[in-house]
Amino acid sequence: MNWNVLLGLGAIIAVFLIVKRIGLISLQKARTHLKNGATLVDVRSTSEFKSRRLLGAVNVPLNDLHASARRHLPDKNKVLLLHCHSGTRSAMACRALKQMGYSSVFNLGSLGRAQRVVNP
């Protein structure tokens, strides 16, 4: 394989990971929000949530976000800390919730990262 192709692929992957990381709230800020009553929101599917979940998390699956958000997240001014399996779905859910009028929505990223916030 051509070295230029490998270098190009490596650069694309590195940029993707950096951009993904930039959109995350810091662990310290997330812990502060959680201590002050923020809602922990898991946007994974219901089956993923049932198999492994964080204590106190509310399940609002991304594929049902518009219908479930009104029911499970009625206060659009409350701080929401979103997570999923890898951070991709929670990033998409953050954008969607902001478009729906939620004012304080933050992406925690992956389930493992969210776990470090809940249980430091």
> What count of residues does the chain have?
120
pLDDT of residue 115: 95
Whether residue 76 contacts residue 102, with contact meaning beta carbons closer than 8 Å, is answered with yes
Q: What is the pLDDT at residue 3?
A: 74
Rounded to an integer, what distance in angstroms lies between the CA atom of residue 4 and that of residue 51?
Answer: 43
Q: Check if the beta carbon of residue 81 is closer than 8 Å to that of residue 102.
A: no
* pLDDT tens per residue across span 56-96: 999 999 999 999 998 999 999 999 999 999 999 999 999 99
* Section 49-54 average pLDDT: 94
Whole-number Å distance between alpha carbons of 55 and 118: 8
Range of lowest pLDDT (8-12, 38-42, 54-58, 74-78): 8-12
| Domain annotation for the chain: domains and CATH numbers | 25-118 (3.40.250.10)
- In this predicted structure, the answer to whether residue 16 has a pLDDT above a threshold of 80 is no
